[in-house]
Copies of this chain bind each other. A is one copy, B any other.
Amino acid sequence: MAVYTEVADEDLRAFVGEYDIGAVVSCKGIAEGVENSNYLLQTDRGNYILTLYEKRVNPTDLPFFIGLMEHLARQGLRCPTPVAGRDGIALRHLCDRPAAIVSFLKGLWPRRITAAHCAALGRAMADLHQKGLSYAGSRPNSLGPKAWRPLFEQEAHRTDEVKPGLADFLRHELDHLERHWPQDLPIGIIHADLFPDNVFFQGDEVSGLIDFYFACTDFLAYDIAICLNAWCFEDDGSFNITKAHLLLWNYQQVRPLSAAEFRALPILARGSAIRFLLTRLYDWLNTPAGAFVKRKDPLEYERKLRFHASIEGAEAYGLHHDAPAAGKQ
C-alpha cells in the first residue's frame, strides 16, 4: 500500500497543463505499487497513470527506469510508456517529488495463477529480455548476492524470533550461495520483481508488464528464477511442475537458454528465494505487529528455498535441456 501524497487540484492542473494530453477529468489514488504514489489520471482525451516517486526510490535511478520504459515501448513491448511534456521531458516534478505520467495499460493482474498464465508469462519475459538487450542504460542489482549477507547480519540477532534455527540455516545457505554463485551467464536487463501483481492479462494473454522500479542489469536467468518462486508454488507450499514446465518451455520458444543457464536455475532459484526471504524478514521485524499493512510471510520463502536446495537438478522444473527449443544452443 502506497504512501499517498495529496496533490492539490491547482497543482495538478498546472502540472498536466505542461503536457499535450487534454484537461483533467478525475484523479484517484490507486492501491497498487508499494514504493510510490500512483494515481489513475483521467483527462478528456484518455486515461493515464501519474506516479510520484517517494523516498524509497533513488532519484538518480529514475532516468534509467524512465529510459528503459521508453526503450521497451519503442520496441513494441506492452509496458507503461512515459509521456513527455511539451518540452520533450518525461521526468518532471510535482509536490516536491520527481513525477512522471505514463500510459494506462488494460488488463487485470491474476489473483489465481493458472498454468496458462505461466505459459504466457514465459514468452512475455523472454520478449522483455530480448528487447532489453539493445538498451544503453545499465544499473547494478542493489539487491543482488553482495547485498544479502549485510541484509542478513543487520537483523541476525532477531532472526530466530521468527523461527528458531532460522539464523543458522540462513548463514549456511549464504555460505553455499557465495561459494556456488555462477560467474558467467548471459547478462541483460531484468525486471527483478515480476510477481503476479506486475503482470496484466486480458484472458490468457499478457497485456502488459508494469513496475520497472527494481529493473537492473543481471543474469537473465535470474529473472526466470524469481518467477519460478513467484508463480509456480501453490498456496499449500507445493511446487507445481506443470506451471514451471510451461513457463520454461514458452520462454525458450522466444529465447532459448544455454546449457549453463539451464544448469544454474536451481542455484539462481535458491538465491532469489533468499533475496525475498531477507527483505520480507527485514519488513517483518520492522513493521509494528498491529499495523494495518499486510506483512508478507518470510517463511513462505524459507520453504521455497528448501525445495530448490533439495532437488537434484534443473530437470525438477519439468524440462530437460535437450527439449526442442533448447536444442539449438
Give A residues with C-beta under 8 Å from B.
1-2, 4, 6-10, 12, 24-32, 40, 42, 47, 104-108, 110-112, 200-201, 287-293
Q: A4-B31, A30-B30, A40-B30 are in contact. Are A24 and B289 (CB under 8 A)?
A: no
Tallying the copies of this chain within the complex gives: 2
Chain B positions within 8 Å of A8 at CB level: 110-112
CA distance A32 to B106 in the complex (A): 21
Sample (30) of A-B pairs whose CB atoms are under 8 Å apart: A1-B1, A4-B31, A6-B111, A7-B111, A8-B111, A9-B108, A9-B110, A9-B111, A9-B112, A9-B201, A10-B112, A12-B108, A24-B108, A25-B106, A25-B107, A26-B105, A26-B108, A26-B200, A27-B108, A28-B30, A28-B40, A29-B30, A29-B32, A30-B31, A30-B40, A288-B289, A288-B291, A291-B292, A292-B292, A292-B293
User: Min CB distance, A2 to chain B, in Å?
Assistant: 7
Q: In the complex, what residue of chain B is closest to A9 when comparing beta carbons?
A: B108
Chain B positions within 8 Å of A42 at CB level: 47, 106
Chain B positions within 8 Å of A293 at CB level: 291-292
CA distance A292 to B289 in the complex (A): 11
Other A-B pairs beyond A8-B111, A9-B112, A12-B108, 16, CB < 8 Å: A1-B292, A2-B31, A8-B112, A25-B107, A26-B104, A26-B200, A28-B30, A28-B40, A29-B32, A31-B31, A287-B290, A288-B288, A288-B290, A290-B291, A291-B292, A292-B293
Across the A-B interface, give the 5 residue pairs with the lowest CB-CB distance, nearest first. A288-B290, A29-B31, A8-B111, A291-B291, A9-B108
Neighbour of A32 across the interface among B7, B28, B290, CB < 8 A: B28
Chain B positions within 8 Å of A290 at CB level: 287-288, 290-291
Counting chain B CB atoms within 10 Å of each CB, the highest count among A24, A25, A30, A108 belongs to: A108
Chain B positions within 8 Å of A40 at CB level: 28, 30, 40
CA distance A12 to B112 in the complex (A): 12
